[in-house]
């Protein structure tokens, strides 16, 4: 017996489509979601009634304010994230580069916190964006420190050659405890990423800083890495971890 409610699953999928395609009309949302136009319209009306979406004057749709409320509530319930934010904020001022925290959800990673550089040349990053596990610096960190069963599931989707190449990199990340990427995901972008740990020394997230390669000489990368690690160690202790 299945516990899945198909209509709810479809509505949540439609909500994600709206999130990924803001200010989009009914016909296109219907096409992107795979729902027929009539069903998509009824679901959008229901979502709008509960303020999860808003219909604009031009009849396009975007996310509603109820999601902001739920987001704030979810954040307040994520105690470790609130603590991490207070520890990491000074790094935003010090470096004025993009800082992100990402977590793993199954075989994807999702951005749950970010601060954006105020410099004219900056790396674009959408709040709440999702990527495949293993993609970019954060994706490799979260793969490297995932459980063996998660890694097995991930590698089962790759060819033998892809698996061999990525496993070598994953082992290197596990050994050194960080990863520095240069154009892995986006050309011209450098990212420094480290795992964040809970009190049991289990990886709960990835903290990363990204910037144009032109602003990332080796000395600055090392300084950034040192600061990220110091912040991570402070978080570990604040969460109840005992330093070795």
CA distances from 242 to 104, 195, 199, 230, 238 (A): 24, 17, 7, 15, 10
Amino acid 75: pLDDT: 64
Amino acid 1: pLDDT: 47
Give Cβ neighbours of residue 179 (< 8 Å, ≥ 6 apart): 137, 140, 141, 144, 173, 192, 193, 194
Specify whether 103 is located in the same domain as 213: yes
Amino acid 53: pLDDT: 94
Q: Choose one of 24, 49, 68: the last residue of a domain.
A: 68
CATH label of the domain that carries residue 169: 3.30.450.40
Specify whether 186 is located in the same domain as 130: yes
In the numeric block, which tokens belong to residue 28? 């296109």
In the numeric block, which tokens belong to residue 211? 């910037």
Specify whether 103 is located in the same domain as 127: yes
From CA 169, how far away is CA 165, in angstroms rounded?
A: 7
Specify whether 54 is located in the same domain as 90: no
CA distances from 205 to 32, 71, 110, 136, 140 (A): 30, 18, 10, 14, 12
Specify whether 154 is located in the same domain as 45: no
Q: Is residue 123 part of a domain?
A: yes
Amino acid 2: pLDDT: 58
Amino acid 183: pLDDT: 87
Residue 215 sits in which domain range? 78-238
From CA 101, how far away is CA 90, in angstroms rounded?
A: 15
Residues of the chain with pLDDT under 70: 1-3, 72, 75-78, 122, 124-128, 244
């Amino acid at each position: 017996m299945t516990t899945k409610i198909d209509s709810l699953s479809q509505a949540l999928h439609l909500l994600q489509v709206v999130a990924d395609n803001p200010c989009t009309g009914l016909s296109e949302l219907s096409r992107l979601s795979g729902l027929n136009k009539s069903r998509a319209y009824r679901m959008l009306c229901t979502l709008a009634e509960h303020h999860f979406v808003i219909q604009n004057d031009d009849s396009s749709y975007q996310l509603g304010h109820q999601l902001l409320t739920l987001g704030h509530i979810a954040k307040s319930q994520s105690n470790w994230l609130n603590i991490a934010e207070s520890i990491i904020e000074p790094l935003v001022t010090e470096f004025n580069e993009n800082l992100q925290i990402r977590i793993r959800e199954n075989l994807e990673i999702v951005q749950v916190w970010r601060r954006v550089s105020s410099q004219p040349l900056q790396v674009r990053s959408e709040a709440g964006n999702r990527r495949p596990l293993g993609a970019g610096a954060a994706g490799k960190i979260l793969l490297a420190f995932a459980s063996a069963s998660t890694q097995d599931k991930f590698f089962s989707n790759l060819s033998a050659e892809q698996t061999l190449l990525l496993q070598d990199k994953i082992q290197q990340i596990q050994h050194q405890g960080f990863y520095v990427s240069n154009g892995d995901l986006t050309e011209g972008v450098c990212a420094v990423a480290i795992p964040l740990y809970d009190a049991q020394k289990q990886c709960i997230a990835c903290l990363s800083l990204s910037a144009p390669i032109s602003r990332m000489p080796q000395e600055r990368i090392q300084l950034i890495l040192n600061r990220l690690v110091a912040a991570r160690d402070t978080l570990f202790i604040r969460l109840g971890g005992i330093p070795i």
